[in-house]
Amino acid sequence: MSDVSPFIAALPKAELHMHLEGSLEPETLLALAARNGMRLPYADAAALRGAYRFRGLQSFLELYYLGLTVLQTGDDFYAMTEAYLSRAAHDNVRHAEVFVAPQAHLRRGVPIATVIDPILAAFDAARTAHGMTGGLIAVIQRQFDESDALGMIVALKPWRDRILGLGLGGPEIGHPPSKFRRAFAQARGEYGWHTCAHAGEEGSADYVREALEIIEVDRIDHGVHCDADPGLVRELAARRTPLTVCPCSNVMLRVFPDMGAHNIRKLHEAGLCITVNSDDPSYFGGYINANFAAIQKSLALSDDALWQMARNSFTGAFMSDALRERYLAELDHRRPSLPL
């Protein structure tokens, strides 16, 4: 992307909010459909891209859930993960924590090992090929009941030591974080997982507060509607709770009418721990560097502000202290010169 500055391109980053199933490019999606004998209602990649005009979160999810049905075999899950990690390495992502939605695949009859083992194998390969670290966050689909989520967590027990954490995604409205308090308690207490939750994208600031205080997450995914509650903003800033903000996604899903109206700069200047991420990059028109470039162009964010957001991505990552220190030392060499 021509708008990506040399500074952004060279900036080491961690990506903390990216749905693997949302990284399937139209060409790959259609190729997998053909390989697996499936027919989709799109003649070609251009026709599929033409459907990326979303009215909001639900209209996106309808296409997203259709798209993930092309994933049938272990080779499909490996290819999807390998393609994203290679593309992220191109954007100088040094560490990636990615979401996958096991319920969406289990409910289609895909065995859990067919989903998890190839994804983990692709991460192992990316460490060798690109020097990347990272891992997998299993996401609850909040439109289903908590018993379904608890069943998913049980199914993932054989991989408990290789999965980074538990997340919460899907349509927010009518499905508050408190609906899943037992699932998150089990993930933390029995499995020792980190936790995060989508809140305050489609939902209100109340959903952010529930995620923080009732299911006690380590990170808030999106969280941009927190600004309706000044007390919550102050609490998030005091706690240094990371918000994994996805600017291009927010505009594509009409959370904000355009990038100039986005509140990421306002939240950053209020002292919140803001990170920049791509969400579902195939659908929303930009991988992580494009998101950095978009907010800099539209909101006049300085290189130093972008550097701080990149730093936040490492401080907010689910990684060891030793690995964090290594990446922060690498990042320090890229800090822009400050005015005298």
Residue 276: exposed, middle, or buried by beta-carbon count in 10 A (0-12, 13-18, 19+)?
buried
Listed as own residue / partner, the contacts of 196-200 with beta carbons closer than 8 Å and 24 or more positions apart are 196/137, 196/165, 196/166, 196/167, 196/168, 196/220, 196/221, 196/244, 197/167, 197/168, 197/221, 198/142, 198/167, 198/168, 198/169, 198/170, 198/172, 198/222, 199/168, 199/172, 199/223, 200/224, 200/225, 200/226
Rounded to 10 degrees, the C-alpha dihedral 222/227/230/234 comes to 40
- For 2, 9, 215, 263, 289, the CA distances from 276, given in Å and listed in that order, are 19, 14, 23, 13, 9
Distance CA 188, CA 312 (A): 23
Query: Which residue in the list 21, 82, 172, 201 is annotated as catalytic?
Result: 201
Residue 31: exposed, middle, or buried by beta-carbon count in 10 A (0-12, 13-18, 19+)?
middle
Supply the DSSP symbol for 22: G
Listed as own residue / partner, the contacts of 266-271 with beta carbons closer than 8 Å and 24 or more positions apart are 266/227, 267/224, 267/226, 267/227, 267/233, 267/243, 268/301, 268/305, 268/308, 268/309, 270/227, 270/233, 270/237, 271/237
Active-site annotation holds for 201: yes
Chain position carrying tokens 């009409």? 254
Angle at 207 between CA 139 and CA 93, to 5 degrees: 45
Task: Name the residue among 246, 247, 212, 216 with its Cα closest to residue 226.
Answer: 212
Amino acid identity of 136? L
Task: Tell me which residues are annotated as active site.
Answer: 201
